Structure 1
Amino acid sequence: MLDETDARNRYRTAPKREDYTIDQQWHTYSAEEHDRWNRLAKAVTELLPGRAAPEFIEAVQTLDLSGGGVPDMEKLSEKLRPLTGWSVVPVADLVPDEVFFDHLANRRFPAGAFIRSEAEMEYLEEPDIFHDVFGHVPLLADPTYADFMEAYGKGGQAAMERGQLHNLARLYWYTIEFGLMRHADGLRIFGAGILSSTGEIRFSLEDTSSNRIGFDLERVMRTEYEIDDYQKTYFVINDFKSLLSECYGDFSALYDRLKGAEDIAPDAVLDTDRVFHRGDMTYFKKT
């Protein structure tokens, strides 16, 4: 008998290969699931102009993710691979860290195959195919961002050996998942955790509650984060080229400094921060 978690995610009991990939079995998605994808994509796409990074908006169109139902990852990879060498591989749920980093280091993005239920349309605790594919995959069509993701995968392997994966996880959280970037007309979103949530798309840019602070690698790696609510701080990069430049290389000296440094609270603003907006935390005082 399936427990509640397995019933919600039918892929959880699917046979796994050594690299934790599974068969997506695209033909098994129901008409209701395809419709759910289309409604999610429509709701998010309508919010993108003036809020999302132009590179993201362009890639959503290039990869045709906005209205054709749940994507077939094999066919999606056929579009993506000629652009940057990346592919998308289906997995049942979150994979072990060493497996995740190996996939990224070899330009494979592991994406959850299940799609959220109707009850979870607005908020989902674990990543589903909409979060992983609509949120993460479009920017893998951008050559510079694609290089950054590969570098992150290789860096993860090194961080595990040093026992400092928690520091590198913060970099992933505050850029790949919840990153903002500068644009001539204001701040824009590139983080997948924001771009797969209609609520956080608005909140991250327009609500007065959260801090928006200029990206600093060491600062980010010291900063704790929220896992079950909107973020109290969003970090702002200049562009993907500068992000890659700062994060490409040996972090050994940085990790040595971090071992003796105190963690920074998610809502903190330091005297050394480059502040785009100091949050008033109003939202968080109500919850």
Structure 2
Amino acid sequence: MFEDGQLYSPVSTKDDGSVEVHLGENHPGFRDEAYRARRNDIAEIAVAWSPGAPIPTVDYTEGEQDIWREVARELAPKHEKHAHSEYLHAKEALGLPSDHVPQLGEVGERLVPLTGFTYVPAPGLVPLREFYESLGRREFHSTQYLRHPSQPLYTPEPDIIHEVMGHANQLASPRFAALTEAAGKATARAELDDTVKFIADVFWFTLEFGVMWEDGDLKAYGAGILSSYGEMDEYAHMEIRPLDIAEMGTINYDITAYQPVLFAADSLDQLEDVVGTFFDTCDDETPSRLKATV
């Protein structure tokens, strides 16, 4: 399970109403005042947004567009090699632009006809329960900023590249979208915070960092892997374990590093049977019952 101390760059609102993103000292942009100011400005747009209002747009700079173009160009051949066919078919159906950063409203317009998912802005990390409950309404909270230009193929936190290239392509699959929605509905049923964390941990090792066997090859379907240039080179060399809900919900992991242990589904049917059934039936007694089996 993850700990709250590992959370990504928090966002706060000062007494004067200004918004500040607090980057850690090891963040690539920590000493870049221009980047930090830009992060604050983009976060402020999301903070000011209210549900039901039009999705705010960001006027991306040419430098930010270049980061998107470079990552899209570099990830494309890796997706062809490493991504599960279900993800590849969904990516093709969604047809995200590779020449510019799409606005969140544009992403939603492309997704709705495919799976009904929409995107809404987030200034940074969304509280666990709020984020997952929104998935049950087929609503995805997404950041709008881009990673630091010094490391275009790396980010220590979820930026719009992760949220859109990783998750939106995945959410264009009706089968992955249904699993995502099921996780959200399970969260909405949960009264205990420990149950929500358990659901989030299972989600982490599946929809975020899941791998799956396909025609004898280990393919990735998790958004965290498929939005990461480096992770796609590493995942096949990690310790691969079979799907195990109890283990996925209790194993310790670091969200800031490559995942040393991954859980592989034998097929998409098995993923839906094991993980989908867990999400559909999970209640507040489920985690304690499963923990007793570990």
With normalisation by structure 1, the TM-score equals 0.81
- Asked if 1:100 corresponds to 2:128, the answer is no
Q: Deviations over 1:36-68 (max 9, x none)?
A: 101001101121223111122222222222513
- Aligned equivalent of 1:273: none
Match among 253, 269, 281 for residue 225 of structure 1:
253
Matched residue SS, 1:36: helix
Native 8 Å contact 1:24 1:113 kept in 2: no
Indicate the residue corresponding to 2:211 in structure 1.
180
| Structure 2 residue 262 is matched with structure 1 residue 234 | yes
Counterpart in 1 of 2:159?
Answer: 128
Matches within 5 A, 1:156-195: 156-161=187-192, 163-195=194-226
What root-mean-square deviation, in Å, do the aligned CA atoms of Structure 1 and Structure 2 show? 2.4
Distance verdict in 2 for CA 1:21–1:92, change over 3 Å: farther
Check 1:91–1:221 CA distance in 2 against 1; reply closer, same or farther (3 A cut). Answer: same
1:25 aligns with 2:57: yes
* Residue 213 (structure 1) aligned with residue 241 (structure 2): yes
Q: Which runs of 5+ in 1 are unaligned?
A: 263-287
* Aligned residues of 2:55 and 2:104 also touching (Cα < 8 A): no
**Equivalent pairs, count:** 258
Pairing of 1:117-156 with structure 2 (within 5 A): 117-156=148-187
Distance 1:137 1:169 in 2: 18
Are 2:123 and 1:58 equivalent residues in the alignment? no
In the TM superposition, structure 1's runs of 4+ consecutive aligned residues that sit over 3 Å from their partners are 1-6, 15-24, 258-262
**1:260, 1:65 → 2: CA distance?**
44
- Whether 1:256 aligns to 2:284 is no
Separation in 2, partners of 1:259, 1:21? 42
Report the identity percentage: 29
Higher relative contact order (CA 8 A, sep 6+): 2
* Structure 2: gaps (5+ residues): 1-17, 24-35
C-alpha distance 219-30 of structure 1, shift in aligned 2 (>3 A): same
What is the distance in 1 between the residues matched to 2:259 and 2:291?
25
In structure 2, how many angstroms separate the alpha carbons of the residues matched to 1:194 and 1:227? 12
With over 3 angstroms needed to count, the CA separation of the structure-2 counterparts of 1:22 and 1:175, relative to structure 1, is farther
